[in-house]
Structure 1
């Protein structure tokens, strides 16, 4: 039963709620048969879904496909419990790294096994039409693309999620808009990074903690009018048998005992680090904390080694942005990378989207990187014959050629692009082809994170999967809509990436993070792309959208109505997440 709850929690981290015990049984069968633990199994499941455009919600059919494509290929079957099963020659030889001919075989990703109905089969050759040039992809890539680009046409135009009023038509409107950066600071293109000193890094973390902690105190005081005066102390290790309030940064340890500690915001003279103390949540009915979160607590510390928390306060939202001055209906299309599956470099999903953009002509098209993800097999194996910048500019030219002049195209950079600075916050893309920028005046290059301003409509965007990162670090006993709770953490911390320490694959420069990763005003719309299932949530009157990944042929489209009577509401935005 404990293993079942652990697996349920791991899938909840991915935004999946499993009610069918058959799915659990199949997962435990895989763990026993292939000697993998629950954490590894869920990691393999995410890998399978990303590489094969599969729904993140596990089903028996897709689990079996994952077994054939990953487990059977990369993990040896435990023969002690399966000695009476027949294994074909290919499986036996592959265990020893050999093919039927006896030669060593190089492990490679297998193509998904898809059953194609004759009436719904699409043209397999279509992908080849979109190859950029013979210098871009090898013949191997071309053949692979034809095998992988077959998709059931019944998925086209399928609405996965709809929020707000129904939009009768997404076709062109005559309303012309200009997209600019908001007044908040954005990382410049010439920013210097990784020059920080550890002592200065500690000072920055302390300063951020003090600023947000003081704001939490003030907000907490205005929301509680019980007439009880409590002491406010900055030393988290203050010994007291009576209730007092303090604040600090959370550090969770999920690898061992799920312990939670609080790091204070003061550093004693001669001590390199701030005071820390363990938190005891046994008196709380519910809580949700993650590493890096700044919280305020009401607690007692009778002995000096543990804070027994009576109450925790985490929400101190930024002030809302001013009312937008939109004069007519505004249509916005949003898609997030990666834009091509790991099987090829032909970007079929992106070109399908561009056909839709050319047809509907939205006012704004927002494309969020990565475009050339550094983990893509063909990039890692150096199969691409163009330079990375040349390939990126070829993709960009094709995007702009497919877009009408009255559609503003916004490209948001990603630190996962192989041709981009591997740092967060990330400067905007560099374009060496100056004619490209001169020829397309409707192209805007934006850093990560950024806040767009469209006639006063503020749209906050980051390419980092902050929702998944928070979910991996969260310790909670709260039931309900987990995706909303994770997204709410971003808003309440007023930071595009509040996790600390950051994930291993994300290079965060602390000085740049302090300057450019926070927002003083809450955007009207917040775009947080994630590998987790698509969602559209309204939290504190801010609409938060995850369009999921474009390589799964999924994108978001929004219709924003003008303000009537001078009062703005999230109801002014209608959102659909659809298949293209």
Structure 2
């Protein structure tokens, strides 16, 4: 009898779910062809009316379209494609079916970490004309050189008295040595950072550091854009998830972004996850009446159908927080199902490097700036631009995620990390979405962009738009970029 009662309740619940909340592909096309808002397309099926209730706080905002930051001389920028050529998006494809993870042996992990010490350590020694490194764990009464990885000798975060150096020579036997930083005028360190030092070790237990070397000069991309200025500048829009407020799953900011793209028709739209955020309250509480995969496909259709026939290329980068995807970093690209066969849709891995008409982009969805900011120690405390310094660590360490061990919330596969996270050549434009304040900075010859989030809590967030031109002869950099951060 209890079984029959449960079946009756479940059948009633299924009947209560409005069918129009789960449109199929034909319904999506019908909505778009009728010129209706894609909001009904983005809206998920749910057992709770709160999920499909528009956010009144978002709709009542007064700062929509406000420009909050500019980079370069934006006077005269059109932000719309003057010549509607179809840009070529090229990248090293990551095969989803070959993306096996968490199969590493301990020795393989050790070898990978040791290789990073050797490679970056040699770069530091060569760039600073230092002698060959020695083992820092033994006594040295005279000044010596060593290179290695910064480690923490404490249960909490790194502090000036808990800094250890794990060198390549001592890695095999698991040894490390404490560093005394008291004689340094300035430093900026975090766990996992590869550094070189000059110092003395009088007792074999602690190295008194006399000089510290951390700044590895990045190798800049020297490829030239394949478009000419006669074609008009390349227009690119960048946005990062979450794409909906925390009190609803209506995806109103994403709807407004699609409207902006339809009106301005940029050459490329770069969308960074999460799309179906595992940390969203309604997702955590299980209020959806459809699968997470179905909701994601619905979201992508809501983006792509209004752009059908458009020259705008859409680049989609996943996130480990996407509830329907793999909770691993690096993250494989989304699977391309039959519903998502669009010629102008490109699924990338996270992190990824790709080029649009010869302009090289690097993107990661992980909030590496926030993670580094929580673990970094810097002296003096207010000595430099913090956001620029954090972004500089990514370029100096030639890695999308140089922090080790990683943040507790992040599962990192070191095998794929070695293949996909390294930045042997810095891109023209590096996109690092973060919860930290938006910025656009030229750092070491690379333009670093943090567009922040398209949705922030209960309100709307921001996005970035870039106008890219081929630089003239004699210019130090192959591209010239003006950019803006604006409120959605």
TM-score (norm 1): 0.72
Partners of 2:136 and 2:177 within 8 A in 1? yes
What's the offset of the Cα at 1:281?
1.0
Distance in 1 between residues matched to 2:276 and 2:408, nearest whole Å: 20
Partners of 1:467 and 1:487 within 8 A in 2? yes
* Bigger relative contact order, structure 1 or 2 (CA pairs below 8 A, ≥6 apart): 2
Q: 2:166 aligns with which of 248, 263, 272?
A: 263
What's the offset of the Cα at 1:144?
4.2
SS at match of 1:538: strand
Q: 1:362 aligns with which of 241, 266, 281?
A: 266
Determine the structure 2 residue equivalent to 1:323: 223
Q: Which moved more, 1:304-313 or 1:402-411?
A: 402-411
SS at match of 2:470: coil
Distance in 2 between residues matched to 1:485 and 1:362, nearest whole Å: 31
What's the offset of the Cα at 1:388?
0.8
Q: 1:180 aligns with which of 89, 93, 112?
A: 89
Alpha carbons of structure 1 residues 515 and 571: separation in structure 2 relative to 1, 3 Å: closer
Superimposed CA distance per residue, residues 33-76 of structure 1 (whole angstroms, 9 cap, x where no aligned partner) = xxxxxxxxxxxxxxxxxxxxxxxxxxxxxxxxxxxxxxxxxxxx
Alpha carbons of structure 1 residues 308 and 356: separation in structure 2 relative to 1, 3 Å: same
Distance in 1 between residues matched to 2:43 and 2:425, nearest whole Å: 48
Give unmatched runs, 5+ long, in structure 2: 1-35
Distance in 1 between residues matched to 2:335 and 2:446, nearest whole Å: 31
Determine the structure 1 residue equivalent to 2:287: 383
Distance in 2 between residues matched to 1:319 and 1:140, nearest whole Å: 53
More helix by share: 1
Determine the structure 2 residue equivalent to 1:16: none
Q: How does 1:459-538 map to 2 (within 5 A)?
A: 459-478=361-380, 479-538=383-442
RMSD over aligned Cα atoms: 2.2
Superimposed CA distance per residue, residues 526-555 of structure 1 (whole angstroms, 9 cap, x where no aligned partner) = 000000010111111100000000113310
Partners of 2:238 and 2:451 within 8 A in 1? yes
Distance in 1 between residues matched to 2:283 and 2:101, nearest whole Å: 25
Alpha carbons of structure 1 residues 508 and 256: separation in structure 2 relative to 1, 3 Å: closer
Superimposed CA distance per residue, residues 423-482 of structure 1 (whole angstroms, 9 cap, x where no aligned partner) = 1111101132x2531xx2111111101111122211100000000111111011141210
Determine the structure 1 residue equivalent to 2:481: 573
Alpha carbons of structure 1 residues 162 and 571: separation in structure 2 relative to 1, 3 Å: farther
TM-score (norm 2): 0.85
Partners of 1:296 and 1:312 within 8 A in 2? yes
Determine the structure 1 residue equivalent to 2:209: 309
Q: 1:159 aligns with which of 67, 70, 81?
A: 67
Distance in 2 between residues matched to 1:449 and 1:455, nearest whole Å: 20
Partners of 2:42 and 2:302 within 8 A in 1? no
Determine the structure 2 residue equivalent to 1:436: 340
Partners of 1:251 and 1:263 within 8 A in 2? yes
What's the offset of the Cα at 1:249?
0.4
What's the offset of the Cα at 1:381?
1.4
Would you say how many aligned residue pairs link Structure 1 and Structure 2? 438
Superimposed CA distance per residue, residues 231-260 of structure 1 (whole angstroms, 9 cap, x where no aligned partner) = 532412132122111110002345485421
